[in-house]
């Protein structure tokens, strides 16, 4: 190879195509009836039937997977798609796989094959959906826990709620493995909650951290530059520190994770939809839950308690946020048996908006 060729090979310029065209990967019936759908029905859990104005119908079969897919499993999902469906799939934002077929007769055999291979058909309508999750110990650089493991352990326990229609309305759950909460809002969210200020590895700070930007990152101005052992480092006012971990990503020596003091917390009532009420953020209901691998039984027990209370007490179509709004927080804590503590009272900016400024009290 000439020198020029070598250089060309090393420095291949990217083709900046960006987001690819979706229509080339879309089931022909979806292409044909694009924007022309009339209504849908729910023939059974995990299956949707959409009917277009043209009279065409398409069936969607939704299945939960392990989300972190190995290529052998991915090929298996493709084999099933080729043999029992029409070779077209899509993924939902909660990482379920959806197969689309043009005939009702294909639905049954596809479900049998998916279930035979260990996939779980469900997740539609008023079910507990697949838990959205982040990367955790498997792959994140700042995780307090393992998201994929928490989710696997929990889905094992709520699988019947995924497969059935037993809930008043759909339940979206999310997990996050640090307090940045990449997992987003959920009807129920299981998130990491740190309980101790970062332990600073002073030997490393001056090498790896841009000190002013770490200082600026702290939401409560608890960090200041300091000389420690004759070297430029940082110090934290531990009384001020809210143990949020915001300083940790830009400065890994601010070690916030701790085998014992990193805990889990549970939040409820996040709802992204505008249906009935406006979208809502999730609220803290339980904390101090041990971060207990490999199966996190304490966190799952609390989630199941909440699901049970919601299932038994909410009305049809009420999301968890709607339900709590109707019954009030005191009753929520009563029905779930969870303790109400001083930590539930908001202390952040705009906190007084979340206090009860009325005589509306249910006795």
Partner 1 sequence: MADKHITPMLDELENGPWPSFISGIKRLRDQHSDSRVSGVANSLLGQLEHSYETRKGYWKGGTVSVFGYGSGIIPRFSEVGDAFPESREFHTLRVQPPAGNFYTTDMLRQLGKSWEKHGSGLQTFHGQTGNIMFIGASTENTQHFFDEINEYGWDLGGAGPCVRTGMCCVGAARCEQANIDGIKIHRTLLNNFTDDIHRPALPYKFKFKVSGCPNDCVNSIERADFAIIGTWKDDMKVNQDEVKDFVEKKGRKYLIDNVITRCPTNCLSLKDDDTLEVDNRNCVKCMHCLNVMPKALSPGDDKGATILMGGKRTLKVGDLMGTVIVPFMKLDTEEDYEKLTELAEETIDFWAENGLEHERCGEMIERIGLVNFLDGIGLEVDPNMVADPTTSSYVRMDGWDDEAEKWFKDKLQSVEA
Residues 187 to 206: which contact ligand SF4 by CB under 6 A? Answer: 197-198
Shortest CB 103 distance to partner 1, Å: 16
In this chain, which of 14, 105, 352, 360 binds partner 1, going by CB under 8 A?
Answer: 14
CA contacts within 13 A on the Cβ side of 355: 10
Q: Cα 80 to chain center, whole Å?
A: 27
Structure tokens at 172: 């979206």
Q: Which of 124, 148, 132 is nearest to 47 (CA)?
A: 124
In this chain, which of 74, 220, 227, 351 binds ligand SF4, going by CB under 6 A?
Answer: 220
Structure tokens at 86: 């029409």
Rank residues 143 and 245 by Cβ distance to ligand SF4 and give the closer one: 245
Shortest CB 235 distance to partner 1, Å: 20
Q: Which of 74, 84, 83, 76 is nearest to 108 (CA)?
A: 84
| Per-residue interface string for the shown chain with partner 1, residues 175-214, x marking contact by CB under 8 A | ----xxxxxxx---------------------------x-
- Does residue 1 touch partner 1 according to CB under 8 A? no
- Does residue 156 touch partner 1 according to CB under 8 A? yes
| Per-residue interface string for the shown chain with partner 1, residues 51-90, x marking contact by CB under 8 A | -------x-x---xxxxxxxxxxxx-xx--xx----xxxx
Shortest CB 332 distance to partner 1, Å: 20
- Does residue 300 touch partner 1 according to CB under 8 A? no
Shortest CB 138 distance to ligand SF4, Å: 24
Rank residues 148 and 218 by Cβ distance to ligand SF4 and give the closer one: 218
Q: At residue 239, what are phi and psi to the nearest 5 degrees?
A: -75, -35
Shortest CB 291 distance to partner 1, Å: 6
Stretches 76-84, 87-95, 214-222, 325-333: which one binds ligand SF4 (CB under 6 A)? 214-222
Could you give the C-alpha distances from 246 to 141, 176, 222, 252, 267, in angstroms and in order? 13, 14, 11, 11, 20
In this chain, which of 63, 150, 218, 289 binds ligand SF4, going by CB under 6 A?
Answer: 218
Angle at 344 between CA 354 and CA 254, to 5 degrees: 110
Q: Cβ neighbours of residue 20 under 8 Å, at least 6 residues apart?
A: none
In this chain, which of 28, 43, 108, 219 binds partner 1, going by CB under 8 A?
Answer: 219
Angle at 197 between CA 195 and CA 198, to 5 degrees: 120
Contact 247, 198 (CB under 8 A): yes
Stretches 28-36, 225-233, 302-310, 332-340: which one binds partner 1 (CB under 8 A)? 28-36
CA distance 94 to 97: 9
Rank residues 256 and 338 by Cβ distance to partner 1 and give the closer one: 256
Q: Cβ neighbours of residue 169 under 8 Å, at least 6 residues apart?
A: 126, 314, 316, 317, 318, 319, 322
Q: Which does 312 bind (CB under 5 to 8 A by kind): partner 1, ligand SF4, none?
A: none
Contact 243, 195 (CB under 8 A): yes
CA distance 44 to 20: 33
Q: Which does 137 bind (CB under 5 to 8 A by kind): ligand SF4, partner 1, none?
A: partner 1
Stretches 112-120, 193-201, 226-234, 304-312: which one binds partner 1 (CB under 8 A)? 112-120
In the three-class reduction of DSSP (H, G, I as helix; E, B as strand; rest coil), residue 4 is classed as: helix
Structure tokens at 106: 């294909």
Binders of partner 1 among 115-154, rule CB under 8 A? 118-120, 132, 134-146, 148-149, 152-153
DSSP code of residue 149: H
Q: At residue 63, what are phi and psi to the nearest 5 degrees?
A: -135, 140
Binding site residues, ligand SF4, CB under 6 A: 197-198, 217-218, 220, 222-223, 236, 241-247, 254, 256
């Amino acid at each position: 190879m000439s020198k020029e060729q070598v250089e060309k090979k090393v420095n291949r310029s990217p083709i900046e195509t960006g987001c690819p065209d979706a229509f080339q990967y879309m089931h022909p019936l979806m292409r044909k009836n694009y924007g022309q759908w009339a209504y849908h029905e729910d023939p059974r859990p995990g299956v949707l039937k959409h009917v277009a104005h043209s009279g065409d119908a398409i069936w969607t079969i939704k299945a939960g997977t392990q989300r972190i897919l190995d290529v052998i499993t991915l090929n298996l999902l493709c084999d099933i798609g080729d043999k029992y469906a029409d070779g077209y799939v899509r993924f939902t934002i909660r990482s379920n796989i959806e197969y689309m077929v043009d005939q009702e007769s294909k639905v049954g055999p596809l479900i049998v094959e998916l279930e035979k291979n260990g996939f779980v058909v469900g997740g539609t309508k008023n079910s507990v959906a697949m838990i959205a999750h982040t990367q955790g110990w498997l792959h994140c650089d700042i995780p307090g826990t393992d998201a994929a493991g928490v989710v696997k352990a929990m889905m094992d326990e709520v699988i019947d709620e995924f497969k059935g229609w037993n809930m008043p309305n759909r339940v979206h759950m999310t997990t996050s493995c640090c307090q940045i909460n990449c997992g987003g809002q959920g009807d129920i969210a299981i998130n990491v909650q740190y309980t101790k200020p970062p332990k600073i590895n002073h030997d490393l700070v001056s090498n790896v951290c841009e000190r002013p930007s770490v200082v600026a990152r702290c939401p409560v101005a608890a960090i200041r530059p300091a000389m420690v052992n004759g070297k430029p480092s940082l110090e934290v006012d531990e009384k001020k520190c809210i143990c949020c971990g915001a300083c940790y990503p830009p400065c890994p020596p601010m070690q916030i994770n701790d085998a014992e003091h990193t805990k889990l917390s549970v939040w409820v009532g996040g709802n992204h939809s505008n249906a009935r009420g406006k979208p809502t953020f999730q609220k803290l209901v339980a904390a101090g839950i041990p971060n207990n691998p490999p199966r996190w039984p304490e966190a799952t027990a609390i989630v199941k308690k909440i699901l049970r209370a919601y299932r038994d007490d909410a009305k049809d179509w009420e999301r968890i946020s709607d339900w709590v709004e109707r019954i009030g927080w005191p009753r929520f804590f009563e029905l779930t048996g969870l303790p109400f503590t001083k930590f539930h009272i908001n202390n952040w900016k705009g906190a007084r908006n979340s206090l009860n400024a009325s005589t509306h009290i249910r006795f």
